[in-house]
Amino acid sequence: METTIQQAFEIPADHAERRARQPSSDWIVFLAIAGDFVVLVSAFSLAVLNRQYWTFGLHRDGFVPGEYFKWVLIGTFLYLGLLQIAGAYQKHQFLHKFHSLNIVFRTSAIWTVVFLLCTLVLEMQPSISRLFSFWSFVNSVVFVSVWRLAFRRFLYVKGWATMLKDRVLVVGWSKESETLASQMRQERGHPYEIIGCTPSAHGKFWVTPPRDIAILGDYNSAPELLHKYKPDILIMADLDPVMGEIVALAQLCTKEHVQFKVIPSFFQIFASGLHLENISGVPVMGVSKLPLDYIHNRFLKRVIDVVGALVGLTLSAPLIIAFGILIYRESPGPIFYKQTRSGRGRDLFQIYKLRSMKLNASKGPLLTVENDPRRLKIGALMRKLNIDEVPQFWNVLRGDMSLVGPRPEVTESIQHLKEEIAHYNARHVAKPGMTGWAQVNGLRGNTDFRERIRFDLHYVENWTIWLDLYIMAKTFFVRTNAY
């Protein structure tokens, strides 16, 4: 609902002056590079001593520590170059604790391989020993990580961390900008800080800004605001902009050397895949690539699916036989249950399960409920332990399903769910899974479909192989709503 401006207030007048007295972000980056150089020389020099005295029983004949000095320098410059390639010297990286440590570990691992290959190809003397490489890896991880953590702490204590953040001025206010502001409050290392906002050209806000966000003036005073507060970025969050306003603001930002960005409120899902592309000379914005749209990601996921399905079928064969006998004893008839489900791209396939319900259960409601009277006695245990799902390893091996993905729904449910839940069918861009992000968060059985779809879409948009492995591991420990 729109609200009019009732009161405006400004950020402290000396804010820009205090910022001007602090060192520039370029100077901070230079200080980080100098510190990395000293730390790496120390780490690799210590690796030479480690190589001499901690040999783990290996021979050290012919080892002369002084001859390794050139390797220390070469290794240091190579490591600094890899840090640059990894983005470690982008100013925002100094604010992120765990992401920075992740870069250090990956860089050390890559450095070890590249360094050994370079010395082997160039055949330089003295040759690099395995012990020196090992200790160089260990020391670089420890030394650089501790230094980076200490440097990050130093930046916050000195108040210099603000120089690494981009100052943001928001035009208009929306739910998306409120989400952005909320994330900034929660994350100490967030790379942006909102210095204030102005209403849209209509003189109104679609959503009332929170009290801690300063209203700096009106839309027409944008040139004066850019000059006075010197933001790095201007973000348009107006939900109903006029094209002329967007062009005018973009031109103003170009003139004042301010980045211009727009929150595309009309894209409600898969925003991480939002991409600007050029079609016949015309710029077009849309969702173009999600993680599983890339063939190498699909290939890697498929390899893990095939290996996991073969292992799963082998290990689960005794369970299928044992529980098949128990099912037949309690309810004579087929031990397997199959049903038509919707897969990737809405393609239909037959899903297989161990039958956990009575033979006439299909005449009841589609969803199971707690203490469902149609359920077999042995079926309760199977559902609790996910044993009824193990035949789906065959679906995975056939390529109908994946080990991890959005759970496939029965076809009868899809017709009304796609009408009731926004973006429901977007989950079908990925193969359905035996387990999924929604399921390991307790969203299974008779739970909120809208919340379940939200988790499914989050998985599709943020897929990584590590997320798949985490979900598979967590599946063995989550029993919430398993009935």
Residue 482: inside a domain? no
Q: How many residues does the chain have?
A: 483
Give the C-alpha separation, 428 to 347, whole Å.
Answer: 9
402 in the same domain as 340: yes
197 in the same domain as 144: no
Report the SS3 class of residue 171: strand
Nearby residues of 44 by Cβ (< 8 Å), 6 or more positions away: 71, 72, 75, 76, 136, 139, 140
225 in the same domain as 239: yes
Which one of 158, 187, 216 terminates a domain?
A: 158
Q: What are the φ/ψ torsions at residue 376 (nearest 5 degrees)?
A: -70, 160
- Any idea what DSSP says for residue 216? -
Q: Give the CA count within 13 Å in the CB-facing half-sphere of 279.
A: 6
Which one of 158, 182, 198 terminates a domain?
A: 158
Report the SS3 class of residue 58: coil
pLDDT (0 to 100) of residue 311 = 93
CATH of the domain at 238: 3.40.50.720
35 in the same domain as 9: no
Which one of 219, 247, 266 terminates a domain?
A: 266
Domain count, the chain: 3
Give the C-alpha separation, 483 to 479, whole Å.
Answer: 9
- Any idea what DSSP says for residue 88? T
Residue 334: inside a domain? yes
168 in the same domain as 145: no
Residue 277: inside a domain? no
Give the C-alpha separation, 271 to 269, whole Å.
Answer: 5
464 in the same domain as 384: yes
pLDDT (0 to 100) of residue 12 = 44
259 in the same domain as 176: yes
C-alpha angle 337/341/346, rounded to 5°? 165
CB atoms within 10 A of CB 345: 10
Burial 265-301 (b: 16+ CB within 10 A, else e): beeebbeebeeeeeeeeeeeeebeebbbeeeeeeeeb
H or E element: which one contains 302?
helix 295-330
312 in the same domain as 252: no
Question: pTM score, two decimals?
Answer: 0.53
Tell me the pLDDT of the chain (483 aa) as tens digits.
Answer: 334 333 344 444 444 555 556 677 788 889 999 999 999 999 988 888 877 666 544 445 544 555 667 788 888 999 999 999 988 888 888 887 788 888 899 899 999 888 878 767 766 666 667 778 888 899 999 999 999 999 988 988 888 877 888 888 988 888 878 888 887 777 777 788 888 888 887 777 777 888 888 888 888 888 888 888 888 888 888 766 666 777 888 888 888 888 888 876 655 555 555 566 655 566 566 656 778 888 888 999 999 999 999 999 999 899 889 988 988 888 888 888 888 888 887 788 899 888 888 776 655 555 565 566 677 878 878 877 778 889 999 999 999 999 998 888 776 666 666 656 656 666 777 889 998 888 888 776 666 677 788 888 888 888 888 889 999 988 877 656 554
Report the SS3 class of residue 110: helix
424 in the same domain as 313: yes
462 in the same domain as 324: yes
Residue 225: inside a domain? yes
Give the C-alpha separation, 56 to 51, whole Å.
Answer: 9
Residue 282: inside a domain? no
Q: Tell me the pairing of strands 433-435 and 348-354.
A: unpaired
Nearby residues of 369 by Cβ (< 8 Å), 6 or more positions away: 445, 446, 483
Prior bond to 334 cis, omega within 30? no
pLDDT (0 to 100) of residue 167 = 87
Residue 248: inside a domain? yes
Residue 372: inside a domain? yes
Residue 307: inside a domain? yes
Nearby residues of 148 by Cβ (< 8 Å), 6 or more positions away: 94, 100, 101, 104
Nearby residues of 474 by Cβ (< 8 Å), 6 or more positions away: 440
* 429, 292 Cβ separation under 8 angstroms: yes
Give the C-alpha separation, 307 to 469, whole Å.
Answer: 13
364 in the same domain as 339: yes
The domain in which residue 176 lies consists of 3-14+164-266
74 in the same domain as 137: yes
